[in-house]
Structure 1
């Protein structure tokens, strides 16, 4: 449940309650009925908004009451990394990088799949390649 519209809904219902006392059937005006009709439409819209989940990716997903009602599925995905990272093939990710760039590949497949594909292709994941040590230095340090 989305709790954001509830304070506004409470205000609209209080306004409607005041009209229940003031609205006399014999003396009701068109203006009063129009105000009541608009308040009822607003109340209906707010109830619909409160019942709808916040997450457009997972309609009807359960929400986490400890996380301000955010989608539990998105929370799990954020915590464990992108769910599609293991499903994406390296070739698909590399094709997307070539055609659309690294940001689009990260959006589609997740950062983990992007990193794995770049590593498998022998590409670095940063702007500057790692520095190379001279060949003789490793031999000197290992013999000492």
Structure 2
């Protein structure tokens, strides 16, 4: 009976560890592309930390201004201006797939910014102790 429990636990651990792997691969690919970029200094990890922050707390495209979009660092000035013009002309974005209709946005650009942006309305979360304890970043 003990070998059955051991195999069951081993099977569950295997899937838990496997479920964590794709996010790491995506992050490694993004770091490699950042390192190959000529305009980003790889010695300074501030850009990587900002992208990690945007991954945890995505930038809302329906409320973001020009400065917030330029701080993201993944869009050119032309793309930022056209995104804001599209939003002012057609209203709020309903889905991230609507980015395909924005002029000067190609598939590569959309795939690059999707992990860091959202089109959803922000949730009102209570800031009680229980929420802070369970949903906090746990960083010092």
TM-score, length basis structure 2? 0.29
Task: State the structure with more CA Rg.
Answer: 1
TM-score, length basis structure 1? 0.29
Give the number of the structure with larger relative contact order, counting CA–CA contacts within 8 Å between residues 6 or more apart: 2
